[in-house]
């Protein structure tokens, strides 16, 4: 039994082993599981062996350059060049290295390689391509002088003869570079050479030559004349010469030159330009290119103001400077503050003195009369009127003033946008000035989502503001002092109070406001407030008030400091905004008259004024808008015990003691805290 059991065990083990072997064989024959295939990508470059021969390294670089692998191509070419190959191979490698750098967006490095190409021994074809590429890169990088020199070298001493197409490309690029450098005479010669190659004048080349030659000097153009060339080219040169003579003030010679153009060719475009230029010359004979007129009230009630503005205009024109260049000639006319006399003086300045432009006058009536007459006579006029709309008289009328609309816009930006005021009151004289400003304020407040809760107009001749302040604060009439047990309390249901009047009137009104406890509100005024007289009369009562302006006599700007010093020396007083605006208007005209391309006609002066942009001025950078307004920034000033200064961010912080508005929008009065009128 025991032996049989052992035999059975051996058989069972053998069977189990056999089954395991069969299973393993079956598993080995089964298909392998599929593994994910990586996405195709660029084949990684083998590490560059920099010890390979230069020819092999160059071939590697060429292959990489062709595949757009620019920086890898750079590595190969640099490795090849490090082995100092001969000039023939070096010129080839430098050009391709420049192409690789350019492909990688490194224009400066590309240009460096082109400039390192061997001067002698290189492949002429490669050197020519390198110089063409170099000139284009220099032009693209703004290196105009270098580009011009490279192109001249190509034109005169190319490494190999240039094809006609390449010659045209070189001359075309050279003319463009010379024009960009302001070398209009040289550019004209280059274009004439290009036209000679073409054999005929294409319309585009004719236009380009006319524009370029039209900016050259008469001497440069005269040197080009007398050479055999097609009549059309000579006609273009003669027309450009007449334009140069006109620009230089040689009017009779310009007319004579135009006479040579007539009949030379029957070209409609050239004939039309000659006709227009002849008309401009005839107009120029009617004006003195350096003459400026100023029209101000020099007699009558505004005589003192007129004389002060006149002094500023004289300084702005530089009449007392010894600087080189054309000096403006000033003709002075007296408007007498009357409309009829003003219009007559405009005619006199135009007809007798042949002025190019006029500055002035002042006052609404005279300003509108002058604007209408200046437009009728087509002479540019820069009005200093403080009323809106003068420039709408026509395209020859400009305006440099802080108009009521600009003042109100500046005040409301400060009061509403920067200080959050919503409820306003007005205390104004019952005249066109007070009601005009009041209307503009109300319109602006409503447009910005605010409200004007009270309007009180007073007699412009008033010297006692008691009844008007009582009405403003809803107090009963009569004489009493607030603070008693039975005294009424003012109703202050507004956050800001606008008072458009002179310093004298404002001083009287402000003292009554303080007397009746109308305090804690933001006081706002017009540019009339900006006088030392206000500080003398009411410094205590207008602390923190705000007012608009364009001119800060205390500015550290060198232009402002120079003007203030000159004006104080001449008149022993600090200039005001009106004088500053007269100075800026004169500065603009002086700039025009002294420029290299000074206007020769009144129409040209008008067009030049419209092109003024960011010219330095004492009221800020001067830009003239398409509406012919001097577009200078409005500055909001505040008042402190030292005087006027531009508003600072800290001025907009509300003091802790300021009275709060009740739920009905009315400030609560307190006998314990009596803050002064403040914009803080």
> What long-range pairs does 174-178 form, CB within 8 A, spacing at least 24?
174/148, 175/208, 175/212, 176/139, 177/139, 177/144, 177/147, 177/148, 177/151, 178/148
* Domain identity same for 541 and 441: yes
As a residue count, the chain comes to 680
Q: How far apart are CA 536 and CA 345, in angstroms?
A: 39
Q: How far apart are CA 643 and CA 592, in angstroms?
A: 36
Q: The domain spanning residue 254 has which CATH number?
A: 1.25.40
Instruction: Taking residues 322-333, report their average pLDDT.
Output: 81
Q: How far apart are CA 480 and CA 516, in angstroms?
A: 9
**End-to-end alpha carbon distance in the chain:** 121
User: Are 302 and 337 contacting, i.e. CB atoms less than 8 angstroms apart?
Assistant: yes
Q: How far apart are CA 235 and CA 232, in angstroms?
A: 5
Domain count, the chain: 3
Q: Which residue has the tokens 């739920």?
A: 663
Residue 264 has pLDDT above 50, yes or no: yes
Q: How far apart are CA 651 and CA 418, in angstroms?
A: 11
* H/E segment holding residue 405: helix 404-412
Give me the numbers of helices (H) and strands (E) for the chain, helices first please. 25, 12
Specify the pairing of strand 643-646 against strand 397-399.
unpaired
Q: How many CB atoms lie within 10 A of CB 118?
A: 16
- Residue 38 included in any domain: no
pLDDT of residue 323: 58
- Residue 566 included in any domain: no
pTM for this entry: 0.66
pLDDT of residue 14: 45
Instruction: Taking residues 594-616, report their average pLDDT.
Output: 93
Instruction: Taking residues 106-131, report their average pLDDT.
Output: 91
Closest CA relative to residue 494, chosen from 408, 415, 409, 431: 415
pLDDT of residue 415: 97
- Residue 660 included in any domain: no
Looking at mean pLDDT, say which of 239-243, 375-379, 515-519, 597-601 comes out highest: 375-379
Instruction: Taking residues 150-175, report their average pLDDT.
Output: 90
- Residue 220 included in any domain: yes
Q: Print the domain residue range for 303.
A: 290-399+574-632
* Tens digits of residue pLDDT in 6-58: 444 455 444 444 443 344 334 344 444 444 444 444 445 668 888 899 999 99
Q: How far apart are CA 218 and CA 244, in angstroms?
A: 5
* Domain identity same for 339 and 427: no
pLDDT of residue 633: 85
* Domain identity same for 340 and 454: no
Residue that finishes a domain, picked among 267, 285, 303: 285
* Domain identity same for 423 and 394: no
The confidence band for 487, taking pLDDT boundaries of 50, 70 and 90, is confident
Q: How far apart are CA 352 and CA 363, in angstroms?
A: 25
Instruction: Taking residues 568-579, report their average pLDDT.
Output: 92
Distances (CA, A) of 127 to 94, 99, 117, 156, 192: 10, 14, 7, 15, 27
β-partners of residue 498 are: 426, 524
Instruction: Taking residues 589-608, report their average pLDDT.
Output: 93
* Tens digits of residue pLDDT in 178-200: 999 999 999 999 998 888 886 66
pLDDT of residue 416: 97
Identify the sign of the CA torsion 498, 499, 500, 503.
negative
Q: Which residue has the tokens 């400039």?
A: 115
- Residue 508 included in any domain: yes
The more confident residue out of 173 and 202 is 173
Diameter of the chain measured on Cα atoms:
156
pLDDT of residue 199: 65
* Domain identity same for 411 and 514: yes
* Domain identity same for 254 and 362: no
Residue 513 has pLDDT above 50, yes or no: yes
Q: How far apart are CA 247 and CA 234, in angstroms?
A: 20
* Domain identity same for 386 and 420: no
425: left (phi over 0), alpha (psi -120 to 50) or beta: beta
pLDDT of residue 334: 96
Residue 671 has pLDDT above 60, yes or no: no
Identify the sign of the CA torsion 201, 207, 212, 214.
positive
Six token digits for residue 433: 């000035």
- Residue 84 included in any domain: no
The confidence band for 677, taking pLDDT boundaries of 50, 70 and 90, is very low
pLDDT of residue 596: 82
pLDDT of residue 232: 84
For the chain, give percent helix, strand, coil, nearest 5. Answer: 50, 10, 40
* Domain identity same for 437 and 478: yes
Burial group, residue 185, by CB count within 10 angstroms (0-12, 13-18, 19+): buried
Q: How far apart are CA 471 and CA 583, in angstroms?
A: 43
Phi, psi for 293 (deg, rounded to 5): -105, 145
Identify the sign of the CA torsion 377, 378, 379, 385.
positive
Looking at mean pLDDT, say which of 66-70, 164-168, 474-478, 654-658 comes out highest: 66-70
**Whole-number mean pLDDT of the chain?**
86
The more confident residue out of 676 and 161 is 161
* Tens digits of residue pLDDT in 551-564: 998 889 999 999 99
* Domain identity same for 533 and 427: yes
Instruction: Taking residues 394-402, report their average pLDDT.
Output: 94
pLDDT of residue 228: 83
* Domain identity same for 495 and 512: yes
* Tens digits of residue pLDDT in 73-106: 999 999 999 999 999 999 999 999 999 999 999 9
The confidence band for 444, taking pLDDT boundaries of 50, 70 and 90, is very high
Residue 142 has pLDDT above 50, yes or no: yes
pLDDT of residue 322: 61
Q: How many CB atoms lie within 10 A of CB 350?
A: 21
* Domain identity same for 253 and 355: no
Q: The domain spanning residue 321 has which CATH number?
A: 3.40.50.2300
Residue 660 has pLDDT above 70, yes or no: no
- Residue 254 included in any domain: yes
The confidence band for 227, taking pLDDT boundaries of 50, 70 and 90, is confident
* Domain identity same for 459 and 522: yes
- Residue 536 included in any domain: yes
């Amino acid at each position: 039994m025991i032996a049989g059991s052992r035999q059975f065990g051996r058989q069972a083990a053998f069977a189990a082993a056999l089954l395991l072997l069969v299973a393993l064989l079956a598993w080995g024959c089964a298909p392998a599981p599929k593994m994910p295939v990586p996405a195709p990508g660029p084949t990684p470059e083998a590490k560059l062996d920099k010890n390979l021969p230069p020819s092999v390294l160059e071939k590697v670089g060429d292959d990489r350059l062709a595949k757009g692998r620019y920086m890898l191509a750079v590595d190969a070419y640099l490795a090849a060049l490090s082995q100092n190959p001969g000039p023939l191979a070096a010129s080839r490698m430098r050009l391709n290295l420049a192409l690789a750098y350019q492909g990688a967006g490194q224009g400066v490095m590309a240009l460096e390689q082109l400039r390192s190409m061997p001067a002698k021994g290189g492949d002429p074809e490669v050197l020519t391509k390198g110089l063409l590429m170099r000139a284009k890169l220099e032009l693209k990088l703004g290196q105009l002088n270098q580009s011009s020199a490279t192109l001249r070298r190509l034109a005169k001493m190319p490494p190999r003869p240039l094809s006609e197409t390449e010659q045209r490309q070189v001359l075309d690029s050279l003319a463009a570079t010379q024009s960009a450098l302001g070398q209009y005479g040289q550019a004209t010669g280059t274009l004439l050479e290009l036209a000679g190659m073409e054999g005929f004048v294409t319309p585009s080349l004719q236009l380009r030559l006319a524009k370029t030659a039209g900016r050259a000097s008469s001497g440069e153009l005269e040197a080009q004349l007398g050479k055999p060339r097609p009549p059309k080219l000579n006609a273009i040169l003669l027309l450009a010469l007449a334009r140069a003579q006109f620009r230089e003030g040689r009017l009779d010679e310009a007319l004579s030159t135009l006479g040579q153009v007539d009949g030379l060719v029957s070209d409609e475009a050239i004939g039309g330009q000659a006709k227009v230029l002849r008309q401009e010359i005839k107009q120029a004979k009617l004006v003195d290119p350096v003459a400026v007129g100023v029209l101000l009230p020099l007699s009558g009630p505004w005589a003192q103001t007129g004389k002060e503005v006149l002094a500023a205009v004289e300084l702005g024109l530089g009449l007392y400077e010894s600087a080189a260049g054309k000096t403006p000639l000033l003709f002075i006319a007296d408007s007498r503050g009357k409309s009829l006399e003003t219009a007559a003086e405009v005619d006199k300045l135009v007809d007798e003195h042949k002025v190019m432009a006029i500055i002035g006058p002042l006052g609404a009536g005279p300003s509108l009369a002058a604007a209408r007459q200046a437009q009728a006579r087509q002479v540019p006029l820069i009005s200093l009127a403080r009323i809106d709309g003068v420039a709408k008289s026509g395209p020859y009328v400009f305006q440099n003033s802080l108009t009521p609309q600009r003042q109100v816009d500046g005040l409301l930006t400060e009061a509403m946008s920067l200080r959050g005021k919503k409820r306003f009151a007005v205390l104004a004289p019952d005249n066109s000035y007070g009601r005009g400003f009041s209307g503009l304020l109300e319109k602006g407040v409503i447009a910005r989502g605010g409200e004007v809760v009270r309007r009180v107009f007073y007699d412009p001749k008033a010297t006692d503001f008691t009844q008007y302040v009582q009405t403003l604060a809803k107090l009963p009439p009569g004489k009493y002092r607030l603070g008693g047990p039975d005294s009424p309390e003012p109703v202050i249901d507004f956050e800001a109070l606008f008072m458009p009047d002179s310093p004298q009137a404002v001083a009287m009104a402000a003292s009554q406001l303080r007397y009746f406890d109308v305090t804690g509100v933001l006081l706002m005024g017009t540019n009339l407030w900006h006088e030392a007289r206000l500080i003398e009369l009411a410094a205590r009562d207008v602390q923190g008030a705000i007012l608009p302006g364009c001119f800060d006599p205390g500015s550290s700007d060198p232009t402002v400091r120079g003007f203030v010093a000159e004006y104080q020396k001449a008149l022993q007083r600090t200039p005001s905004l009106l004088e500053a605006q007269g100075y800026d208007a004169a500065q603009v005209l002086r700039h025009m008259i002294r420029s290299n391309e000074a206007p020769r006609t009144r129409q040209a002066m008008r067009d030049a004024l419209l092109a003024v942009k960011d010219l330095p001025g004492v009221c800020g950078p001067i830009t003239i808008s398409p509406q012919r307004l001097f577009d200078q920034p409005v500055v909001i000033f505040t008042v402190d015990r030292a005087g006027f200064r531009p508003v600072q961010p800290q001025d907009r912080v509300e003091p802790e003691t300021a009275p709060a508005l009740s739920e009905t929008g009315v400030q609560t009065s307190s006998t314990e805290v009596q803050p002064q009128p403040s914009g803080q």
